[in-house]
Amino acid sequence: MIHLNCFVIVITLVSWNIFSIHGENKRYDTPTNPAAPDGGASSGAAVAVAANLADFSLGIDTDGGIRVPAACCGVLGFRPSHRAVSHTGIIPVSSSSDTAANRTAQVVIKSVEKLFGRQILKHEIVGDYIYSKVPSLRAMYTKASNGEVKSSSLRLLANAMQKIKRLEFQLNHQEWISSVKSTMNPVISAQVQEKLELTEQETECLYAIKNELHVAMNYLLKDDGVLVLPTIANPPPFLNSKEIMSEDYKRYSLLSLASMSGCCQVTIPLGLYDKCPVSVSFVARHGGDRFLLDTVHAMYATLKEQAEIAIEPKSSTKVVSDETSADIANEKGNEAVKAKQWQKAVGFYTEAIKLNGNNATYYSNRAAAYLEIGSIIQAEADCSKAINFDKKNVKAYLRRGIAREILSYYKEAIDDFNYVLVLEPTNKRASLSANRLKMLFGS
């Protein structure tokens, strides 16, 4: 455990086939999942965050080592694009799929009513798409499946992922595998020591599947596409359950889509249903990590609100927290501003202020709308309130300077513009306004 700038970080390495993705460990005991204490194992790093023992934790995600525990424990889990984070110092499981990743319980997330201008794709289309765009997968399994591949493309992809992982694990850890003792869980020991016999042609085909899927997913998602899919299909499994070790549970999942293509994926907790955590995942193209995180940032509050309505339909009018409602009203105001509906914007910002009267941004935003409709005194007053809450609010100082110039408070306006330049020296609007007023009225 590392203490860094008052944040607590837990670092753990997770391997599905060594100690299970759910954290079951005969030697060191198994952590209790805080989100499902009556049953539902999960890995230690996610448990640490869910139990508020750490602000965030780090681990390895090969085919779900971050995403599944995060989904089980009801915390946010992020698998970056493959190789987006350095692998220096990491003991590899499957080098072509491993990625350093993290889980976090709290993120600074703002909500919007909807995501404008971005394509949301549902997982139902993916099976057909893979069938048409990944010929190596189709060719490898068509004969064995009697041509019935299209309906099970995702399962076949997951099967290919497992073969690559096992192959690379054996290549990376031959010496360790040969020394594995019988004291290890016999099921896991058998999995580790089981040899995977592949021809050179079959191996080439497996890596061709990865390459083709990488290209196909980047083409599908482009720069502004998001694939929405379940993280896991079932509630967290009970400790020592047969489900955890079943091949269906491990292979027939949607997790391999990001693992095989190298795409980035975020697991987003949406609350509880029947006392178990519920989550959804967003997937973006390889290299689209910033866009993906921005998308989650924009949609999180709205997703949670809609999930609550879906889980408890009779409570569709239930009160959302004032802070969340205020954020939504503020975003509505922003959209009204984009449409140049200034009076409407004032109404939305006023609603936000009523719900959360200590937010500098809301006052500053309303001041901007007031300026547009000529309510200069109200604009100046709102800017002053914003500055009281946030002494470094550049926009509030700039807008107050504009209001004061219109009201002929030239000295005060110059002071505001100068302070903007202290906070943001490259602000052209403040620089031009300050210089103009100084020339006219002196410093």
Residues 60, 197, single domain; the answer is no
Q: Is residue 170 part of a domain?
A: yes
- At 242-275, the pLDDT tens digits run 554 444 444 446 788 888 899 999 988 888 777 7
Q: Is residue 389 part of a domain?
A: yes
Cα distance between the two ends of the chain: 55
Residues 143, 286, single domain; the answer is yes
pLDDT at 376: 93
Q: What does the block give as tokens for 321?
A: 């927290």
Least confident of 49-58, 186-195, 231-240, 284-293: 186-195
d(CA 365, CA 347): 11
With a threshold of 0.75, does the pTM exceed it?
no
Q: Is the model more confident about 222 or about 106?
A: 222
Q: In terms of C-beta density within 10 A (0-12 exposed, 13-18 middle, 19 or more buried), how is residue 199 classed?
A: exposed
The answer, yes or no, to whether residue 422 has pLDDT greater than 90, is yes
Contact 207, 137 (CB under 8 A): no
**Confidence label for 139 from pLDDT (cuts 50, 70 and 90):** confident
Q: Is residue 343 part of a domain?
A: yes
d(CA 218, CA 424): 38
Residues 295, 339, single domain; the answer is no
Residues 340, 389, single domain; the answer is yes
Domain hosting 355: range is 322-410
Residues 151, 281, single domain; the answer is yes
Query: Which one of 259, 280, 315 terminates a domain?
Result: 315
- At 310-347, the pLDDT tens digits run 666 544 444 457 788 899 999 999 999 999 999 999 99
d(CA 42, CA 239): 9
Residues 139, 274, single domain; the answer is yes
Residues 191, 264, single domain; the answer is yes
d(CA 283, CA 392): 36
Q: Is the model more confident about 131 or about 371?
A: 371
Q: Which residues pair with 228 in a beta bridge?
A: 122, 282
pLDDT at 125: 66
Residues 200, 273, single domain; the answer is yes
- Residue entry with tokens 């029947």: 274
The answer, yes or no, to whether residue 22 has pLDDT greater than 80, is no
Residues 279, 176, single domain; the answer is yes
Query: Which one of 77, 104, 131 terminates a domain?
Result: 104
pLDDT at 110: 31
- Residue entry with tokens 């049953």: 39
Q: Is residue 432 part of a domain?
A: no
Least confident of 101-105, 248-252, 301-305: 248-252
Q: Is residue 417 part of a domain?
A: no
Q: Is residue 419 part of a domain?
A: no
The CATH number assigned to the domain holding 375 equals 1.25.40.10
Residues 207, 68, single domain; the answer is no
Residues 306, 329, single domain; the answer is no
What mean pLDDT value characterizes the chain?
75
Residues 198, 230, single domain; the answer is yes
Q: Is residue 429 part of a domain?
A: no
The CATH number assigned to the domain holding 163 equals 3.90.1300.10
Q: Is residue 31 part of a domain?
A: yes
d(CA 41, CA 1): 22
Q: Is the model more confident about 53 or about 264?
A: 264
Q: What does the block give as tokens for 398?
A: 């700039």
DSSP sequence for 40-83: ----HHHHHHHTTS-SEEEEEESSSTTHHHHHHHT-EEEEPPTT
Query: Which one of 315, 339, 369 terminates a domain?
Result: 315
A 10 A CB-CB count for 200 gives 7
Overall average pLDDT of the 186-193 stretch: 62
Give me the number of domains the chain comprises. 3
Q: Which residues pair with 56 in a beta bridge?
A: 9, 104
DSSP code for 99: E
Q: What is the CA radius of gyration of the chain?
A: 27
pLDDT at 332: 92
The answer, yes or no, to whether residue 8 has pLDDT greater than 70, is no
